[in-house]
Homo-oligomer: A and B are copies of this chain.
Amino acid sequence: MSQKLGVCLIGSGGAVSTTIVAGVALMRKNLAPKQGMITESPLAQGLALASLDKLVFGGWDLREDNAFEAAKSHEVVPQHLLNFVKDDLESLKPWKAAVSSKFLHSMSGQNVLACGSFREEIVSIKQDMLKFKEAYTLDGLVMVNLTSTEKFSEPQEVHRSLEAFEKGLDENNSRISPAMKYLYAALDSGVPYVNFTPSLTNIPALAEMARMKKVPLAGEDGKTGQTLLKTALAPMFAARNLKVDGWYSANILGNNDGLVLNDPESNKTKVTSKRSVLDNILGYKVDDHQVHIHYYKPRGDAKESWDNIDISGFLGERMQIKVNFLCKDSILAAPLVIDMVRLIDLAKRRGDYGIQEQLSLFFKAPYHEAGQQPEHNLFTQHEILVKWMRG
C-alpha cells in the first residue's frame, strides 16, 4: 500500500506552493488532467511512489493567510477551479516562519518566529514537523524550500565543515541563513530535503551532515523556463559544432518572485544561478552571456523570456536564433516539485542518501560534490534519471 507522505513547504503561501496544493486536490477529484509530471508518465509505471492521493501538505509562511486566501491572491489557478477545492486549501494554515531581514528585506509578514537563538528556531522547526507527522499519522516527510530568493552570499568558513557550522549555530553566526537552518532541521530529523530556490544551501557542512545522517537531499533552483530551454538548445549547438558567440537573455515577470528580484542582491543570486549552465554544456566560455531579470507588473505570474542567440557556423558565418517563451512560472514549477517530492521519498526508502544527482534534471544549478562539475545537459540528465528510475 502507498505511503502517506507529508510535504513540509517552506513558503507554503507562495504562488508555487499554493498551485501545488490546489493542483493535487484538483487532480485527486479528477477536476484537472495529470499533466506535466514525469511521475505520472509511463516512465514511472511500476515505481513504488507515494500516490497523489496520499500527499498531505503543511508548511511555514511569514504571512498568516491560509492557502485558499493566498492562492486567490496569486491568480495562478483560476478562481472557479479554486472554489472546488476550497476546503482542502483552507485547512492549510501556515506555521510561524524563521526569517531574517539580513537575507530578505523586500517581503513582509507577521507570522514570524520570535526566538532568542538559532538553536531555538531549529527546535521549533523540528517540532512543527513532528506535530504534523503525528496529527496526520504520516509514514514519511519531505521538506521543500519554496521561499523567495535570499540575497547573494558565498560559502564562508562557517559553511566549510559541520563542526564549524554547529559552532556557528551556537554563536548565532549571521552568515547562517534561514534556508540553511531549515535544511539543518530537516537533516537532523532524517527528513529528505529539496531546495527549489537559488538560495545558498549547497555547502560542505550540510553535505557532510546529510551523509552522516543518511538523508537524501537535492537542489538547487528549479529549472523551469528559460534555463530549461538553454539546456536543450546548447546541446543542439554542441552536436552540430556551431559556435555560440553570445547569448542574451531577458526575463519579465510580475509576481512576488519578480518583486523580490528587484532587490539587486537577490537578483545577483538568481542571475548567478542562471548563468552557470552554458559554458558547462558547450565546453568553452561563451564570450558574452547575459541574463537580465526585470519586474514588469502587467504580467503577474505569466513570466516571459526572450533569448537572443548569436552563433557562427561554416566559414565563421554569423546566424541568430531568437526564442520567446510565454510561460506561467508556477505552472511550470509545481509539477517539478511534485515529481521531486515523490522521487526523493522513494530514494529515502531505497536507502539512498547524500546528494541525489539523478534529480539534476530539475535544477538550474544541481547540487554536486565539491570539486566536481554538475551535469547541465538536459538530455544526459534525463537519461540519468530514467536509469535510476529503472534500477
Contacts and interface: CB of A to CB of B under 8 A. Distances in A.
Interface stretch (A120-128, A162-170, A312-320): A312-320
Contact of A41 (B241, B298, B315, B320): B241
Given A239-B379, A298-B246, A331 B310 contact: no
Nearest to A335: B314
What is the copy number of this chain in the assembly?
Answer: 4
Nearest to A324: B322
A287 interface: yes
A209 interface: no
Nearest to A38: B241
Chain A interface category by residue count:
35 or more
A321 to B, nearest CB: 5
B315 A23 contact: yes
A306 B245 CA distance: 20
Interface stretch (A102-110, A266-274, A289-297): A289-297
A36, A292, A320, A332: which has the most chain B beta carbons within 10 Å? A36
Contact of A240 (B36, B312, B320): B36
A58 B148 CA distance: 54
A257 B79 CA distance: 30
A119 interface: no
Interface string A57-101: 000000000000000000001001100000000000000000000
Contact of A296 (B37, B232, B248): B248
A38 B238 CA distance: 9
A236 B322 CA distance: 17
A378 interface: yes
Contacts of A203: none
Nearest to A237: B232
B36 A242 contact: yes
Nearest to A312: B35
Q: Which 3 A-B pairs give the minimum distances between C-beta atoms?
A: A246-B298, A232-B236, A36-B314
23 contacts: A19-B315, A23-B315, A26-B315, A27-B315, A32-B316, A35-B314, A229-B321, A232-B236, A239-B361, A239-B378, A246-B299, A288-B296, A299-B310, A304-B308, A306-B306, A314-B332, A314-B334, A319-B327, A319-B331, A320-B325, A321-B324, A321-B327, A323-B323
